[in-house]
Amino acid sequence: MTDWTPVFLGIIAVSVLVMAAIQVGAVIAGARLAQRVNKLADQIQQEVRPLSAHLQTVAAEAARASTLAAQQVERADRLFADVSQRVEETVTLMQEAVVQPARQSMAVMAGFKAVVATLRGLRHQPPRGKAVRHDEEEDSLFIG
């Protein structure tokens, strides 16, 4: 039995040596993988940095454009309010300038019609001497 001991010890030694070699290989492969991951992270960071800066610029420009648009809307609102007020004032002035003289001319026309009606009434009246008294007839019809 003593003869087999060195053989088994040799097999164990070779097995430990193989396991050590595999572990060293795994450590080397892990180190290489870590380097590749670091390089990839650096590359991604370098590519994302300009994109991030560009996005910040775009966001700043969008905020600026939004502010300008809000200011323009406020200006347009003030402009329309001012124009509306001026149109209303103009319409009021036009009404005063047109309606009041029209009312006055209507009053003059009514007066003229009254004069014409009076003149026509004088033409169709019987002479003064033959005037019929209607008051007595109307008094007799009055029930009171």
Helix intervals (H) in the chain: 4-124, 135-141
- Angstrom distance (rounded) from CA 57 to CA 51: 10
Q: Please state whether the predicted TM-score (pTM) of the whole model is above 0.75.
A: no
Tell me how far apart the alpha carbons of residues 40 and 56 are, in angstroms, rounded to a whole number: 24
- Asked if the model's pLDDT at residue 141 lies above 80, the reply is no
**Chain segment 25-54, per-residue pLDDT in tens:** 999 999 999 999 999 999 988 888 888 888
Highest mean pLDDT among 11-20, 92-101, 102-111, 118-127: 11-20
Residue 78 phi, psi (nearest 5) = -65, -40
CA distances from 34 to 31, 37, 44, 80, 116 (A): 5, 5, 15, 67, 118
